[in-house]
Structure 1
């Protein structure tokens, strides 16, 4: 009887040990699998870190390159174009609302250059500005210059001098544009076009290769 009991005990121990061994092997396999996954994730993280570092280096290099300056210039050009569009309505309203009577001197000058009676200062300005918006820089230039010759003291004369510079800039005549914008800043230091002229003068310097002067503006 004792031998039978011992045999059952021994069999149970063997089965228990076998079950424990299988569980241990399963745990070991699970740990091995987790370790492999961890190593794979670590490799992915390392690769991502390298890519991020590479991108950061490229960004740093880009910031130090001339491409950044070009992008800034493009951005400023876009800002100026937006400014032109935003100011178009106010420019037209200003021209329409201001209609003072002609002085004797203006009438004499107007007659001397054969200006028609319909060419009021406001209409002449509107026509010039409209041609500028349409990209007809040379036509607009002649009209703005005509305005400043006939009405040099008119409140819109400052605007005309500024747009003369813009016309030269549009035609890529940067030296003439430079003179025009400088004239606006000197003649109208407290005028509404002072800062626009200053910004555009910086772009003129850049296009002339005078990058240091452009940065100082």
Structure 2
């Protein structure tokens, strides 16, 4: 975050005093919005972990009973519903955080000098525009088109801060299409190609989910344990702990 603010401060340094003040105010507001979204995301992650733990406890209790009572079944359903709602809210927060990061990245592009006309440029070729277009396709469930657009961004701007996020969403597009083998390959590219990206914990979490979907429980467990060890304070680690708990002791497949 400090590095992002430093880049933004340098980008607006050449503008006039009034313009500089306005852009600095916009940046400050966006940075605060990012922090607020991260706090909300962390709280929801903790709630997801708590609900997952309660659900596992109820499952264990039910396993020792001859038959599951109607009250227990209802409570289990309520916990599952609450967990799904929290997961949906967490996804919404991630999407909002991603959009805010786009705005921050856009502010890093210096405005043209007002006294020197320049040749018109195509906005369609900017990384921010390509990213926004690809996200629009993704949210419209046009996953194949989104993959093409995210790939175009990476090909044209491989070192841009949005490249790692674009790679993550390529994996998510294949995951939504239930192509878990290809999704696993694409998610794994995030830590391989962008090891310093903040997207790495989420990508590794999804790598484990791909393994689980492919019925490779040992590799799923190994990947989630890696998330917890390498990124213990991340939201992805909170979810990884809940997923590990759902697997039960090592050596036993989940029910």
How far has the Cα of 1:97 moved from its partner? 2.8
Gaps of 5+ in 1: 1-54, 63-73, 103-115
| SS in structure 2 of the partner of residue 143 of structure 1 | helix
Aligned mates of 1:56, 1:214 — CA distance in 2: 21
Please name the residue that 2:93 is paired with. Answer: 86
Query: What are the equivalent positions in structure 2 for 1:166-177 lying under 5 Å apart?
Result: 166-177=172-183
Gaps of 5+ in 2: 1-58, 67-80, 111-120, 224-255
Please name the residue that 1:58 is paired with. Answer: 62
Out of 128, 143, 154, the position equivalent to 1:148 is 154
Note the aligned Cα RMSD (angstroms): 3.2
Please name the residue that 1:208 is paired with. Answer: 214
Distance 1:57 1:213, change over 3 A: same
TM-score by length of 1: 0.55
CA deviations 1:134-171 (Å, max 9, x no partner) are: 32211111111111111111110000011110011111
Aligned mates of 1:208, 1:150 — CA distance in 2: 33
Aligned mates of 2:82, 2:217 — CA distance in 1: 16
Query: What are the equivalent positions in structure 2 for 1:131-210 lying under 5 Å apart?
Result: 131-210=137-216
How far has the Cα of 1:181 moved from its partner? 1.2
Distance 1:56 1:125, change over 3 A: closer
How far has the Cα of 1:83 moved from its partner? 3.6
CA deviations 1:10-38 (Å, max 9, x no partner) are: xxxxxxxxxxxxxxxxxxxxxxxxxxxxx
Deviation above 6 Å: which 4+ runs of structure 1?
74-79
| SS in structure 1 of the partner of residue 123 of structure 2 | coil
Aligned mates of 1:160, 1:118 — CA distance in 2: 18
Distance 1:189 1:163, change over 3 A: same
Out of 122, 131, 154, the position equivalent to 1:117 is 122
CA deviations 1:104-148 (Å, max 9, x no partner) are: xxxxxxxxxxxx812121111012112212322111111111111
Aligned mates of 2:184, 2:156 — CA distance in 1: 23
Structure showing greater Rg: 1
| SS in structure 2 of the partner of residue 185 of structure 1 | helix
Which protein has greater RCO, CA pairs closer than 8 Å, 6+ apart?
A: 2
Distance 1:56 1:145, change over 3 A: closer
Q: State the aligned residue count.
A: 140
Please name the residue that 1:49 is paired with. Answer: none
